[in-house]
């Protein structure tokens, strides 16, 4: 009897877990992790390491609005199929006990971007960092490293990038074919888009930053890919948590000169009624390359909810190349088979 009950229980749990499996991306709808909890990894990126994807993003604290300081650190999830994510926990936390620490609760910690450094065999996390109580005035890049994809990350350093005493805002850390990592970012306070190379150990800028030719001023939320010998930079305008029009640029070199390709988004998000003119209600975060599939890229956007940031939503959409130019069409539901079709 007891054994029968146990088998029934295991079967029920098994079926329940199976039923919970995601089989498609549903942009703009809540996205549950393996525990049935909405994923809490905003403004982040995804890396592929040893047959697994790792999604890192801003951990937003429950019950706090952005104005009440909702940043709790970096949250990590892992997946083998990009649809179903296992919660790996907070891999870098703000400190709730030491108010003098750089990462004291109340600091702003945004848009984490993690890279794997093959040379040092280390995972490096970069993030927008503003010390507690200082608002968005002076923007540092904070850095933390880990020996494992799932952390813990140890806070190491902060620097003011962009060759400016006010540092920088939204950014991309891009590892180029030359193995150097470039910091592409919007300079503070004048919002010129600039580029600078990081040192070999990737811990600080190596030299002076230069403006990137052809990238409009006030470009935020940059995401870079290199495809068919062209660099593409997807970004947004500058309007805080409110959505604006996406922008796309193309160049032969990371330094530019970039050509303005306008807004790559097409369609409408039926869940909020917002169209491509304001990026379906979202803002770009990253473009991830799907492993093992040719020309398969996913554009990741956030729908910010500044009053209840933990409820922020995600828009993941496939990139389509039309005559070599990326387009991002709204889709209510899709999966990776999309990339098997001839474009």
d(CA 10, CA 131): 49
**Is residue 221 a contact residue for ligand GAL (CB under 6 A)?**
yes
Of 2-10, 46-54, 181-189, 234-242, which part binds ligand GAL (CB under 6 A)? 234-242
DSSP assignment, residue 199? Answer: P
Beta partners for 172? 184
User: Of the candidates 66, 28, 26, which has an alpha carbon nearest to the alpha carbon of residue 313?
Assistant: 28
Nearer to ligand GAL, 111 or 197 (CB): 111
**Is residue 48 a contact residue for ligand GAL (CB under 6 A)?**
no
CB of 330 to ligand GAL, least distance (A): 21
Question: Are 328 and 261 in contact, with CB atoms under 8 Å apart?
Answer: no
Instruction: Draw the binding track, 60-79, toward ligand GAL (x: CB under 6 A; -: no contact).
Output: --------------------
CB of 192 to ligand GAL, least distance (A): 16
Nearer to ligand GAL, 192 or 283 (CB): 283
CB of 245 to ligand GAL, least distance (A): 13
User: Of the candidates 202, 250, 242, 196, which has an alpha carbon nearest to the alpha carbon of residue 220?
Assistant: 242
SS3 state of residue 293: coil
Which listed residue (59, 60, 75, 111) binds ligand GAL by CB under 6 A? 111
Per residue in 27-38, is it b (16+ CB within 10 Å) or e — as a string? Answer: bbeebebeeeee
Nearer to ligand GAL, 160 or 325 (CB): 160
Beta partners for 329? 266
Of 113-121, 153-161, 189-197, 235-243, which part binds ligand GAL (CB under 6 A)? 235-243
CB of 94 to ligand GAL, least distance (A): 16
Nearer to ligand GAL, 33 or 170 (CB): 170
User: Of the candidates 157, 158, 159, 221, which has an alpha carbon nearest to the alpha carbon of residue 184?
Assistant: 221
Residue nearest to ligand GAL (CB): 240
Question: Are 243 and 274 in contact, with CB atoms under 8 Å apart?
Answer: yes
**Is residue 170 a contact residue for ligand GAL (CB under 6 A)?**
yes
User: Of the candidates 247, 251, 262, which has an alpha carbon nearest to the alpha carbon of residue 228?
Assistant: 251
Q: How many other C-beta atoms can be found within 10 angstroms of the C-beta atom of residue 208?
A: 10
Which listed residue (240, 262, 270, 324) binds ligand GAL by CB under 6 A? 240
Question: Are 146 and 153 in contact, with CB atoms under 8 Å apart?
Answer: yes
Nearer to ligand GAL, 88 or 220 (CB): 220
Q: Which residues bind ligand GAL (CB under 6 A)?
A: 43, 110-111, 170, 220-221, 238, 240-241, 283
């Amino acid at each position: 009897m007891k054994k029968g009950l146990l088998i029934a229980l295991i079967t029920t749990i098994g079926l329940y877990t199976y039923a919970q499996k995601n089989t498609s991306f549903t942009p703009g709808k809540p996205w549950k992790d393996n525990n049935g909890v909405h994923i809490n990894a905003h403004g982040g990126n995804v890396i592929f390491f040893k047959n697994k994807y790792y999604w890192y993003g801003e951990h937003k604290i429950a019950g706090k609005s952005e104005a009440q300081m909702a940043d709790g650190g970096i949250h990590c999830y892992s997946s083998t199929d990009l649809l179903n994510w296992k919660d790996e926990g907070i891999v870098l936390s703000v400190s709730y006990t030491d108010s003098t620490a750089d990462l004291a609760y109340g600091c702003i910690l945004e848009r984490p971007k993690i890279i794997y450094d093959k040379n040092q065999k280390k995972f490096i996390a970069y993030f927008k960092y503003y010390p507690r109580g200082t608002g968005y005035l002076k923007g540092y890049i904070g850095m933390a490293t880990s020996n494992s994809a799932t952390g813990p990350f140890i806070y190491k350093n902060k620097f003011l990038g962009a060759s400016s005493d006010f540092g920088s805002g939204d950014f991309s850390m891009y590892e180029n074919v030359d193995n150097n990592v470039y910091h592409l970012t919007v300079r503070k306070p004048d919002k010129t888009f600039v580029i600078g190379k990081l040192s070999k150990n990737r811990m600080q800028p190596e030299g002076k930053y230069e403006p990137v030719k052809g990238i409009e001023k006030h470009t935020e939320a940059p995401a870079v890919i290199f495809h068919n010998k062209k660099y593409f930079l997807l970004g947004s305008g500058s309007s805080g948590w409110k959505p604006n029009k996406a922008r796309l640029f193309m160049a032969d070199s990371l330094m530019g000169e970039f050509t303005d390709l306008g807004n790559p988004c097409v369609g409408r998000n039926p869940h909020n009624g917002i169209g491509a003119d304001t990026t379906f209600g979202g803002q770009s975060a990253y473009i991830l390359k799907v492993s093992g599939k040719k020309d398969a890229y996913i554009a990741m956007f956030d729908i910010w909810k500044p009053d209840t940031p933990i409820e922020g939503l995600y828009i993941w959409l496939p990139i389509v190349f039309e005559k070599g130019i990326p387009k991002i069409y709204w889709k209510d539901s899709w999966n990776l088979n999309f990339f098997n079709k001839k474009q």
